[in-house]
Amino acid sequence: MTTKNHKKLSRPQEDRKIAGVCLAFANYFDIDVTLVRLLFAFMFIIGGSGFIFYLVSWILIPESN
């Protein structure tokens, strides 16, 4: 019988720059945090949706213990 390892989206307390949102997404999707930060910066430059998404994510994603 196999057990599934469920990933949990949470903002880590170490190695974060502002609120840990980009690091949380990078850890969850197992990609480099620089790519996530560049994506947020690109979304911010093109219309400002990156800033709104970052703020909403900051509020909704819990901090890790």
Give how many domains the chain has, as a whole number.
1
Query: Collapsing DSSP states into helix, strand and coil, what is residue 60?
Result: helix
- Residue 50 falls within a domain, yes or no? yes
- Residue 1 falls within a domain, yes or no? no
- Residue 34 falls within a domain, yes or no? yes
- The share of the chain scoring above pLDDT 70, in percent, equals 92
- Residue 14 falls within a domain, yes or no? no
Q: What pTM value is reported for the model?
A: 0.81
- Residue 39 falls within a domain, yes or no? yes
Q: What are phi and psi of 57, to 5 degrees?
A: -65, -40
| CA gap 11, 34 in Å, rounded | 16
Tens digit of pLDDT for each residue in 3-36? Answer: 667 788 888 888 888 888 999 999 999 999 999 9
Two structure tokens written together for 9: 């989206």
Domain region containing 26:
21-60
| CA gap 13, 35 in Å, rounded | 20
- Residue 38 falls within a domain, yes or no? yes
